Structure 1
Amino acid sequence: MSDLAARARTLLDLHSAPEVLVLVNVWDVASATVVAQSPGVRALATASHAIAATFGYEDGERIPLDLHLDMAGRIAAAVDLPVSMDMEAGYGDPGETTRRAIALGIVGGNLEDASRPLDQSVAAVEAVLAAGRSAGIDFVLNARTDVLLHAAPDADRSALVQEAVSRGRAYLDAGAPVVFVPGVVDRDEIAALVDGLGRGRLSVLAVPRSSPSVRELQDLGVARVSTGPYPQRVALTALQDCVADLLSGGVLPPGTRRLS
Structure 2
Amino acid sequence: MTQREAYDRFRALHERGRAFIMPNAWDAASAAIFADAGFEALGSTSLAIAFSLGRVDGLRAVSREEAIANAGLLARVSELPVNGDLEDGFGEAPEDCELTVEAAVAGGLAGLGIEDTTADPLRPIHDFDDAVARVAAAAKRAKGRIVLTARTDNFLHGRPDLDDTIRRLTAFADVGADVLYAPALPDQDAVRAVVRAVAPKPLNVLLGPFDGFIPLAELDALGAVRISIGGAAYLRAMGEVKTTAAKLANGDLSAASGGIRSGDISRLFPTNMD
In the superposition, the TM-score normalised over structure 2's length comes to: 0.83
The amino acid of 2:107's aligned partner reads: L
Take 2:66 and 2:99, find their aligned partners in 1: how far apart are those partners?
15
Residues 102 and 120 of structure 1: CA distance in aligned 2, closer, same or farther (over 3 Å): same
Shift of 1:245: 3.5
SS in 2 for 1:259: helix
**Does the CA contact (< 8 Å) of 1:52 and 1:68 recur in 2?**
no
* Cα deviation digits, residues 23-67 of structure 1 (max 9, x gap): 11011222111112212x001110011111111122211223322
The amino acid of 2:3's aligned partner reads: L
Residue 94 in structure 1 maps to residue 97 in structure 2: yes
Take 1:63 and 1:177, find their aligned partners in 2: how far apart are those partners?
25
SS in 2 for 1:12: helix
Aligned to 1:63: 62
Aligned to 2:149: 142
Aligned to 1:23: 22
Shift of 1:173: 1.0
The amino acid of 1:239's aligned partner reads: V
Moved more, 196-205 or 91-100: 196-205
Shift of 1:99: 0.7
Aligned positions of 1:139-178 closer than 5 A: 139-151=146-158, 157=160, 160-178=161-179
Take 1:185 and 1:20, find their aligned partners in 2: how far apart are those partners?
19
Residue 184 in structure 1 maps to residue 185 in structure 2: yes
Take 2:178 and 2:134, find their aligned partners in 1: how far apart are those partners?
15
The partner residue of 1:233 within 232, 235, 240 is 235
Take 1:235 and 1:69, find their aligned partners in 2: how far apart are those partners?
23
SS in 1 for 2:148: strand
Take 1:209 and 1:34, find their aligned partners in 2: how far apart are those partners?
29
SS in 1 for 2:265: coil
Aligned positions of 1:70-81 closer than 5 A: 70-81=69-80
Aligned to 1:118: 128
Moved more, 226-235 or 181-190: 181-190
SS in 1 for 2:24: coil
The amino acid of 1:108's aligned partner reads: G
The amino acid of 2:227's aligned partner reads: V
Moved more, 178-187 or 70-79: 70-79
Take 1:254 and 1:116, find their aligned partners in 2: how far apart are those partners?
47
Take 1:80 and 1:87, find their aligned partners in 2: how far apart are those partners?
20
Take 2:170 and 2:201, find their aligned partners in 1: how far apart are those partners?
13
The amino acid of 1:254's aligned partner reads: G
The partner residue of 2:41 within 40, 43, 46 is 43
Shift of 1:210: 2.6
Take 1:77 and 1:191, find their aligned partners in 2: how far apart are those partners?
35
**Does the CA contact (< 8 Å) of 1:126 and 1:174 recur in 2?**
yes
Runs of 4 or more above 6 Å deviation? none
Take 2:79 and 2:69, find their aligned partners in 1: how far apart are those partners?
17
Shift of 1:110: 1.0
Take 1:98 and 1:225, find their aligned partners in 2: how far apart are those partners?
22
Take 1:143 and 1:77, find their aligned partners in 2: how far apart are those partners?
25
The partner residue of 2:137 within 127, 138, 143 is 127
In the superposition, the TM-score normalised over structure 1's length comes to: 0.87
Aligned to 2:271: none
Residues 36 and 198 of structure 1: CA distance in aligned 2, closer, same or farther (over 3 Å): same
Q: Mind listing any 5+ residue stretches in structure 1 that lack a counterpart?
A: none
RMSD: 2.2
Shift of 1:116: 1.3
SS in 2 for 1:184: coil
**Does the CA contact (< 8 Å) of 1:200 and 1:223 recur in 2?**
no
Take 2:221 and 2:211, find their aligned partners in 1: how far apart are those partners?
19
